[in-house]
């Protein structure tokens, strides 16, 4: 039995005899079926949606005005239907769909009720719905199969075994006809000459992702936009199969479908100016416009284009078309369907899954894995930076070749090498991570709002996946300079030098991320981080003697990891030097040993390990502040 056809014929047939079932519940049980999720209609009554927007009339005012996005709309979607929402741009289609799927952002107010079966949509969880956004977003370096495995790990109930997860992925690939491209990389949609997915295939992969949890309701925002007519037809036929074969309800916003494509849908909802201009079978829309509104669709004219022209042109005011519809027989059918659903309400039916989300460490493990894979598969940024670092290290090494000696002139070379070891691990990594984070945010926002993982998982996964870079980069850079400059021939000194440079880079990156998360925008963060960096560098003990720093700036010395690292390296390499030859030139002052060098900079031998520990604390402290800001911004939807 084609449930979709049965339901839509039943509910939208205004002339149905009086003894036919009146509600979805009755219809299901009447047909001998079980009342389950496939029997649930979606209906909404007196729905008003407002957005809180800044009032332009008040310059820099914080006074908020309420903008009406949906104006007192009613509607009914029978179970197992393929529904198209159409309307001019800005009409309120996405707002309506988001309201039906309980996906409205926090600053949007909703009045009225949206119910699925007898339960308010607010009680449904994200895994009860599939929600396909207008613009697909993927981790483009993954293949279709890898992407679906990753999604299965994060989306499916944790009680489902690994074997069954894999089976589910393979079944969906098969069902949606993705077998041909299962091992093709998804891509970013902008590759030249590389084999990646086509636009239509990307849309189907989006479906596949949403279908993993087998949700009974699927909402799709413009799934055919940007596709040629063949791909659009392909996408719609996939949706059609989901409805007819699996009893799902699929609601989608669609632009400019051909008449043939439009008639595939069981129901068409026209939205105009925040109101409903028509709701019912697409085959009857032209007769509604002809008999009620007085517009006749010319023969051989695309019906969808004709309707859109009327709703956008304003030949007859959109409001009066909506008024005509509200007074029509079709609107009465919908009102009756809603009243019947409310009358026959069966509140004891529980449709809310007992879904157990995967544990936090499991999500962290898979998300970290995806970031690492991204770095390996798309290493452009890291490899370029790494090669640049090696190049700089070789050039610095050449500059200091043979000059680092325990002589009066050699002291300057020693300090120059330490400066170069610190400075290269201070600025570049900081600005590099600051630029990388905003690139990751769109995908994070999408997956976060879909309830895939939390802000803490994203933060921790990012941090963990950065560890290899954090170790490899400074180690290679320091080792090259260490060897070429000929620093202390001692394994302990070498390891401690590497650890100090790793810590400098770790604190720099944590500081960069902290500024990003405090200010919430890259440009603002850069504006503030640059002066901060300069102060940190000036108070490093190289450009101004620590003793002469004004007392009120002394605290900065303790958070200047530039100073902490530079002092630690100076102590490490000078503390055991008991003789430095004086120059023949009487004008060159003579520092007799390592302690004279340390005295010159006001450095104290006992500070070596405390400075290393202080850098560890700075790393932790910056990340704690940064994490708190990030989580707060994610909750308030203020990440940009």
Which stretch, 82-90, 292-300, 346-354, 386-394, contacts ligand ATP (CB under 6 A)? 82-90
Q: How far apart are CA 243 and CA 241, in angstroms?
A: 5
Q: In terms of CB distance, is 355 or 445 closer to ligand ATP?
A: 445
Beta-bridge mates of residue 243: none
Closest CA to 462 of 500, 508, 513: 513
Report CA Rg, the chain. Answer: 33
Distance, CA of 332 to CA of 3 (rounded, Å): 23
Residue 227 or 500: the one with the smaller Cβ distance to ligand ATP is 227
CB of 132 to ligand ATP, least distance (A): 14
What track of x and - describes contact with ligand ATP for positions 104 through 123 (by CB under 6 A)? -x--x---------------
Quickly list DSSP for 554-621: HHHHHH-HHHHHHHHHHHHHHTT----BPPSSTTS----SHHHHHHHHT--GGGHHHHHHHHHHHHHH
Would you count residue 94 as binding ligand ATP (CB under 6 A)?
yes
Stretch that binds ligand ATP, among 84-92, 420-428, 540-548, 598-606 (CB under 6 A): 84-92
* Cβ distance to ligand ATP smaller for residue 70 or 629: 70
- Residue 108 CB, nearest approach to ligand ATP (Å): 6
- Residue nearer to ligand ATP on the CB measure, 112 or 177: 112
State the minimum distance, in angstroms, from the CB of residue 349 to ligand ATP: 31
Coil, strand or helix at 639: coil
Decide whether 319 or 405 has the Cβ nearer to ligand ATP.
Answer: 319
Strands 64-77 and 42-54: antiparallel
Please, what is the minimum distance in Å from the beta carbon of residue 48 to ligand ATP?
Answer: 13
Rounded to whole angstroms, how far apart are CA atoms 48 and 114? 11
- CA torsion sign for 551, 555, 561, 565 is positive
Pick 17 or 105: Cβ nearer ligand ATP: 105
Answer for which of 46, 90, 291, 467 binds ligand ATP (CB under 6 A) is 90
Coil/strand/helix, residue 275? strand
Residue 93 contacts ligand ATP per CB under 6 A: yes
Cα dihedral sign, 297-303-309-310: positive
- Binder of ligand ATP out of 41, 78, 92, 215 (CB under 6 A): 92
∠ Cα 172 180 2 (to 5°): 40
Of 456 and 640, CB closest to ligand ATP: 640
Measured between alpha carbons, how far is 482 from 497 in angstroms, rounded to an integer?
9
Cβ-based nearer residue to ligand ATP, 600 or 633: 633
- Per the DSSP assignment, residues forming a β-bridge with 253 are 85
Q: What is the maximum alpha-carbon separation in the chain?
A: 117
Cα 498 to chain centroid distance, Å, stands at 35
Q: What is the closest distance, in whole angstroms, from the C-beta atom of residue 323 to ligand ATP in the complex?
A: 20
Closest CB to ligand ATP among 196 and 449? 449
User: 226 or 621: whose CB is closer to ligand ATP?
Assistant: 226
User: In which element (H, E) is residue 121 found?
Assistant: none
Work out how close the CB of 234 gets to ligand ATP at its nearest, in angstroms, rounded to a whole number: 22
Q: Which is nearer to ligand ATP, 114 or 568 (CB)?
A: 114
Stretch that binds ligand ATP, among 92-100, 294-302, 492-500, 611-619 (CB under 6 A): 92-100
422 closest CA partner among 481, 343, 466, 375:
481
- The rounded distance, in Å, linking the Cα atoms of 264 and 240 is 8
Cα separation, 158 vs 359, whole angstroms = 8
| Total count of residues recorded for the chain | 640
What's the min distance (Å) between Cβ of 135 and ligand ATP? Answer: 11
Minimum CB–partner distance for residue 49 and ligand ATP (Å): 8
Q: Which stretch binds ligand ATP (CB under 6 A): 36-44, 91-99, 125-133, 376-384?
A: 91-99
Residue 86 Cβ vs ligand ATP, minimum distance, rounded to whole Å:
9
Using rule CB under 6 A, residue 69 touches ligand ATP: yes
- Name which position in 3, 27, 82, 91 contacts ligand ATP (CB under 6 A): 91
- Ordered DSSP codes for 414-461: HHHHHHHHHHHHHHHHHHHHHHHHHHHHHHHHHHHHTTSS-HHHHHHH
Least gap, CB of 253 to ligand ATP (angstroms):
6
Return phi, psi of residue 381, to 5°: -65, -50
576 contact partners, CB below 8 Å, separation of at least 6: 594
- Smallest gap from Cβ 52 to ligand ATP, in A, equals 8
Q: Which stretch binds ligand ATP (CB under 6 A): 88-96, 181-189, 235-243, 536-544?
A: 88-96
Exactly one of 41, 75, 78, 87 binds ligand ATP (CB under 6 A); that residue is 87
- Answer whether 224's CB lies under 8 Å from 248's CB: no
- Helix (H) or strand (E) holding 320, with range, is helix 318-326
- Say how many residues touch ligand ATP, by CB under 6 A: 14
Residue closer to ligand ATP (CB basis): 136 or 374: 136
From the CB of 538, what's the least distance to ligand ATP, in Å?
A: 45
Structure tokens at 579: 């003789």
Contact set for ligand ATP, span 23-62 (CB under 6 A): 51, 53
- Residue 95 interacts with ligand ATP (CB under 6 A)? yes
Of 30, 66, 67, 296, the one binding ligand ATP by CB under 6 A: 67
Nearer to ligand ATP, 78 or 87 (CB): 87
Cβ closest to ligand ATP, residue 95 vs residue 213: 95
Strand partners for 252: 84, 220
Give 30 or 54: the residue with its C-beta nearer to ligand ATP: 54
Residue (93 or 155) nearer to ligand ATP, CB: 93
Instruction: Please choose, out of 83-91, 244-252, 377-385, 550-558, the segment that lies near ligand ATP by the rule CB under 6 A.
Output: 83-91
Q: In the bound complex, what is the minimum distance in angstroms from residue 269's beta carbon to ligand ATP?
A: 12
Closest contact distance (angstroms) between CB of 304 and ligand ATP is 14
Task: Give 506's contacts (C-beta < 8 A, 6+ positions apart).
Answer: 470, 615, 619
Strand 129-132: give its sheet, edge to edge. 129-132, 217-220, 249-253, 82-86, 267-272, 275-280
- Chain residues that interact with ligand ATP, rule: CB under 6 A: 51, 53, 67, 69, 87, 89-95, 105, 108
């Amino acid at each position: 039995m084609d449930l979709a056809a049965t339901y839509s014929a039943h509910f939208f047939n205004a002339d149905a005899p009086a003894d036919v079932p009146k509600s979805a519940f009755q219809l299901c049980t009447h047909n001998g079926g079980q009342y389950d999720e496939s029997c649930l209609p979606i209906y909404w009554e007196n729905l008003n949606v407002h957005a809180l927007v800044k009032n332009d009339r008040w310059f820099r005012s914080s006074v908020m005005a309420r903008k009406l996005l949906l104006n007192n709309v009613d509607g009914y979607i029978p179970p197992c239907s393929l529904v198209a929402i159409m309307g001019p741009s800005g009409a309120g289609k996405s707002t309506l769909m988001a309201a039906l799927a309980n996906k409205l952002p926090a600053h949007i107010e909703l009045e009225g009720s949206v119910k699925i079966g007898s339960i308010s949509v607010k009680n449904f969880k994200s895994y009860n719905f599939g929600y396909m956004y207008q613009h697909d977003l993927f981790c483009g370096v993954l293949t279709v199969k890898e992407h679906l495995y990753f999604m299965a790990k994060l989306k499916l109930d944790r009680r489902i075994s690994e074997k069954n997860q894999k089976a589910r992925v393979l079944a969906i690939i098969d069902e949606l006809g993705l077998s041909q491209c299962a091992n093709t990389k998804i891509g970013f949609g902008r590759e030249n000459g590389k084999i990646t997915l086509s636009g239509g295939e990307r849309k189907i992969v989006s479906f596949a992702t949403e279908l993993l949890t087998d949700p009974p309701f699927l909402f799709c925002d413009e799934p055919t936009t940007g596709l040629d007519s063949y791909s659009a037809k392909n996408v719609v036929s996939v949706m059609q199969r989901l409805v007819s074969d699996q009893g799902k309800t699929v609601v989608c916003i669609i632009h400019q479908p051909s008449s043939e494509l439009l008639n595939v849908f069981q129901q068409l909802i026209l939205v105009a100016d925040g109101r409903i201009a028509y709701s019912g079978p697409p085959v009857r829309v032209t007769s509604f416009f002809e008999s009620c509104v007085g517009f006749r669709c010319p023969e051989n004219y695309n019906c969808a284009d004709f309707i859109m022209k009327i709703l956008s042109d304003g030949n007859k005011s959109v409001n009066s078309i909506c008024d005509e519809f509200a007074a029509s027989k079709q609107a009465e059918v919908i009102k009756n369907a809603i009243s019947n659903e409310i009358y026959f309400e069966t509140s004891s039916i529980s449709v809310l899954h007992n879904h157990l989300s995967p544990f936090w460490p499991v999500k962290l493990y898979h998300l970290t894995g995806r970031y690492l894979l991204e770095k390996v598969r798309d290493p452009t940024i890291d490899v370029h930076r790494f090669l640049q670092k090696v190049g700089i290290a070789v050039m610095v090494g050449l500059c200091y070749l043979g000059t680092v000696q325990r002589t009066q002139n050699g002291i300057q070379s020693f300090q120059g090498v330490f400066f170069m070891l610190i400075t290269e691990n201070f600025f570049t990594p900081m600005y590099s991570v600051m630029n990388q984070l905003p690139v990751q945010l769109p995908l994070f926002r999408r997956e976060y709002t879909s309830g895939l993982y939390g802000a803490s998982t994203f933060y921790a996964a990012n941090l963990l996946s950065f560890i290899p870079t954090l170790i490899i980069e400074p180690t290679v850079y320091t080792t090259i300079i260490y060897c070429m400059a000929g620093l202390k021939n001692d394994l302990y000194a070498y390891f401690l030098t590497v650890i100090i440079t790793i810590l400098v880079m770790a604190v720099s990156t944590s500081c960069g991320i902290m500024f990003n998360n405090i200010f919430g925008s890259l440009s603002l963060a850069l504006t503030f981080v640059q002066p901060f960096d300069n102060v940190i560098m000036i108070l490093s003990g190289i450009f101004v003697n620590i003793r002469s720093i004004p007392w009120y700036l002394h605290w900065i010395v303790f958070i200047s990891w530039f100073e902490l690292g530079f002092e630690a390296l100076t102590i490490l390499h000078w503390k055991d030097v008991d003789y430095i030859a004086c120059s023949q030139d009487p004008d060159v002052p003579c520092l007799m040993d390592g302690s004279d060098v340390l005295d010159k900079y006001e450095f104290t031998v006992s500070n070596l390990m405390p400075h290393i520990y202080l850098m560890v604390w700075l790393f932790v402290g910056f990340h704690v502040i940064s994490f708190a800001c990030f989580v707060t911004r994610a909750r308030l939807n203020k990440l940009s």
